[in-house]
Each structure stands twice: as structure tokens, then as C-alpha cells.
Amino acid sequence: MTREILFVDDDADVLAGFHRSLRKEFKIDTAVGGASALSMMRGRSPYAVVVADMQMPGMNGVEFLMELEKTAPDTVRIMLTGNADQKTARDAVNQGHIFRFLTKPCPPGELVPSLHAGLKQYRLVTAERDVLERTLNGSARMLSDILAIHDAPAFGKSQRLREYMRAFAEHLQLKQTWDLELAAMLSQIGCVTIPQAVLEKSRAGRPLAGAEADMMARVPQIGYDLLSHIPRLESVASAVLYQNKNFDGTGFPLDKIAGEDIPIGARLLRVLLDLMAHESGKASKAKAIEHMSQFPGHYDPRVLEAVAAVLERATPAESPSRPVGIKELRIGSILAAAAHTQDGMLIVPAGTQISPMLMEKLRNFAELGDLEEPILVTTDPE
């Protein structure tokens, strides 16, 4: 079991004293020096509280706590030092972002309540984050379900975008990817406001009338307006807004943002959306990248290079498929062929992973006797 509190000091005798006096009340670990502490924390769950001495050779307490914050930002940091001058305290607070500043010798009557307060703070922070993550995921899932019901082709497109986004973000070694994946999943949410006839006309590549073209051009703005009202989704909303913005600053929206000032999520979407458009026109991925490379002002060259590199090394195996009836269809199944009504109307496009809402939609069509069965789904290779 991961212990909750870590004491870091360059004096092993001091650490042994902390362990003896506190082990009955707390779960305690100790580390001699900052480098040793960072090493022992790699690959394990973060500590709730870390208490660090200020004066340590090689890496002082502030330097250690700054490094700790990078890998375990939720860990509550307490500084314990015999040097209580103003500069030490200021550096500890401003650079180490500490929760408490205690001076040596620190009597149990002061240390123990500080440790309890640190544990309480850690529980509050992690509980708040858990609620936030579940709220964000729930909000995103609801919007995605709305898109799935209203416009299954757009939902299928967003699913493929998410898979592409995940692969390319990993290749670029981006540390934070949850917002990029959400931006991909919700990039088409603005389509819920567009009449179905206009969407079908656009996807078929037929010329759009002036008002119809304006509607389609506003899809990113509509998505932004929907998402910007959800707290903590600001980066997702910005990526959706700028998804059609060219790297040289041209395109929608009509502002002065250009180059690396465009959100990285939007720069990824700009490349991936055009790649998928070429694929829908039956062009190979290699041909699509070759064509897109002829328009350097449209794309971030680093992102385009990453996409080309990932595609070059990717050799996905073809998944076999099998026909199933609606009663055999499962959430998470991927359609090998589009699902249609009896008269040929598209319900869910090929390549779409069945979500709970899509399952409900297909079942409703089946109950009315209007679902063409069997449905062709992919199965995992043996």
C-alpha cells in the first residue's frame, strides 16, 4: 500500500525520529535527500503530503518541491526548516507553492495538526478533481450522444477523429491529451443546428447556395458557443472554433491569430479533417498527405510531418466482419457496413462504434420493423 506522508531530509537520524514518533498515527515513508525522494516516487501513486527540509545538499527544499509539483501537482507540500529568514519563506511560498511553512525544532503539537490539515487538503483537492472530471465527461458524453442521435455521420466522423487525434498527440509527445480528444469528439457538434438536407448536400459535394454555405461555415462558431459555457472546457472550445483556420492566419475565424498562436488542438484538427476529406474521396492516405503538402500555408508543418510519420509506421490489420441481428448487437461494436432503413435511408455510417444512444436508436427502428437486418459488424482478429 502506498504510504500517505513522505518526509525528506538529508539527516537519516532526523528521519528515523519522525518515523518513530508519528508511525502510530500516520502512514510514513522517508527519503534521504531530494534526488532520492524523486527517484523513489517514480512509477508509484503520489503521496498525499510531502514534508521537506529546506537545507539539503545538492537539491534544496524549494528546488525539490518545484520538481515534485511537476509530477505530483495534487500532493500537499510542507516546508520544515531551521532557517526561518524572510527570503527562505518567500522562496518556499512563491516557488515551491507550499501549504505550510514550519520551523525546526517543530513540536508535535504543531506538526501533527499540520499533517492532519495537509491530509484533509489533499482529500478535498482530489475529491474536487474527481467530481470535475466526472462532470466534464458526463457533459461531453451528453453532447456526443445528442450528435449521435441527430447526425450519425457527423458522430462517426468525430469518433475517427478522436482515434487519429490520440495517435498523433502521442507521437508529438503532448503531455495533456484529454482536451484534444474531447475537441475531436465535439468538433462536429455545431452540425446539430444545420438542416439535414444541407448536411447531406454538403457531404455529397454538391454546390451550396449562399445561405447554405454560410450555415456550414458557422459550424465551428456554433460549436464554440455551445462549449464555451461549460467551465474548464475553454481549451476544447477554442480548438473547435479554430479548426478551419489556416496556419498562415487565413480562413475562419477572421482574426489575426496565426501560426503557433492557433491552439494546438485546432492545428491538429485542421490536418485531420482534410485528411479524412481526402479519404472519403477514395484517395489513399499517402496521396492525401502528398497533396496537402503542396499547401504549406494551410497546415502547421510540424503537425503535418507527425501525421505523415504516424501513417507511415501504421500497418493496421484488416478486421474480419460478421452479420448480426439487432438482438446480438452490442454497445462498443463497430459497424463494418452502414446500417440502413428498409427503404435505404442511412441510420449509422460504416466505421461507427455503437454508443448507448445509437443502440437505442437502432432498436427503435427495429421495433417499427424498419431496420434492415442483419447488420455487419467487425470482429477482433484472433
User: Which fold is adopted by the domain 5-127?
Assistant: Rossmann fold (3.40.50)
pLDDT tens figures, 243-271: 999 999 999 998 999 999 999 999 999 99
Average pLDDT value for residue range 230-240: 87
* Joined grid coordinates for residue 193: 443546428
User: Which fold is adopted by the domain 318-382?
Assistant: Molybdopterin biosynthesis moea protein, domain 2 (3.90.105)
Question: How high is the pLDDT of residue 95?
Answer: 61
Percent of the chain with pLDDT over 70: 90
Convert 5-24 to b/e letters by CB count within 10 Å (16 or more is b).
bbbbbbeeebbeebeeebee
Name the CATH superfamily, with its identifier, for domain 151-316: Hypothetical protein af1432 (1.10.3210.10)
Q: Does 224 have pLDDT greater than 90?
A: yes
Q: Does 10 have pLDDT greater than 70?
A: yes
pTM of the model: 0.62
Question: How high is the pLDDT of residue 313?
Answer: 62
- Indicate the DSSP class of residue 296: T
pLDDT band at 286 (very low <50, low <70, confident <90, very high): confident
Q: Do 106 and 124 contact (CB within 8 A), yes or no?
A: no
Average pLDDT, the chain: 84
pLDDT tens figures, 96-147: 578 888 888 888 888 999 999 999 999 888 887 777 667 767 777 777 777 7
Question: Residue for cell digits 496521396?
Answer: 287
- Domain(s) of CATH 1.10.3210.10: residues in the chain: 151-316
Average pLDDT value for residue range 319-335: 87
- Indicate the DSSP class of residue 353: B
pLDDT tens figures, 47-103: 999 999 988 888 888 889 888 888 888 899 998 887 655 566 666 565 657 888 888
